[in-house]
């Protein structure tokens, strides 16, 4: 697929990469990708109105790139289409399964008075807070 701003060398590099991907050898595919990137960057350097996108390996108009002060060229290496494609939304997290209901042990109570310091476990259904040792309200 030739675009109006593609050079012959860029079209040739794309064809070589397509053949390498059809062959399936990862080493050759890697070399052809590097070659395509080098040819694309050279084509972008020749025409200041175009930029090379590292995301989709295409020449695009400079307006498609956002400004980036951290890069020496002053523009981002990825076009706006590649940036949008890279923003993959995370799937919603599943709710954790409900915790199993374990019967709670009855809490041990402690008398408030310092001289008494009695600890006891109240009987089932007992709501009184009276210490069995000193008969004072506790806790």
Q: How far apart are CA 139 and CA 136, in angstroms?
A: 10
Is the separation of the CB atoms in 129 and 121 below 8 Å? Answer: no
Predicted local confidence at residue 101, as pLDDT: 75
Note down the domain range covering 35: 8-86
Residues 18 and 57 in one domain: yes
Residue 12 sits in the same domain as residue 63 = yes
Q: What is the pLDDT of residues 73-130, one digit of tens each?
A: 666 677 777 777 767 677 788 888 888 776 666 677 778 777 787 887 777 777 777 7
Q: Is the pLDDT of residue 18 over 80?
A: yes
Regarding pTM above 0.75, the answer is no
The answer to whether residues 68 and 20 belong to one domain is yes
């Amino acid at each position: 697929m030739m675009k109006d701003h593609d050079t012959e060398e860029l079209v040739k590099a794309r064809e070589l990469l397509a053949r390498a991907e059809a062959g399936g050898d990862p080493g050759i595919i890697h070399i052809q990708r590097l070659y395509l990137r080098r040819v694309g960057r050279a084509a972008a350097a020749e025409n200041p109105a175009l930029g090379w996108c590292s995301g989709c390996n295409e020449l695009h108009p400079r307006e498609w790139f956002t400004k980036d002060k951290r890069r020496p060229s002053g523009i981002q290496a990825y076009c706006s289409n590649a940036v949008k494609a890279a923003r993959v939304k995370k799937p919603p997290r599943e709710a954790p399964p409900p915790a199993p209901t374990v019967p709670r042990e009855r809490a041990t109570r402690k008398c408030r008075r310092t001289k008494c310091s009695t600890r006891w476990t109240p009987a089932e259904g007992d709501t009184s807070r009276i210490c069995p040792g000193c008969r004072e309200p506790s806790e």
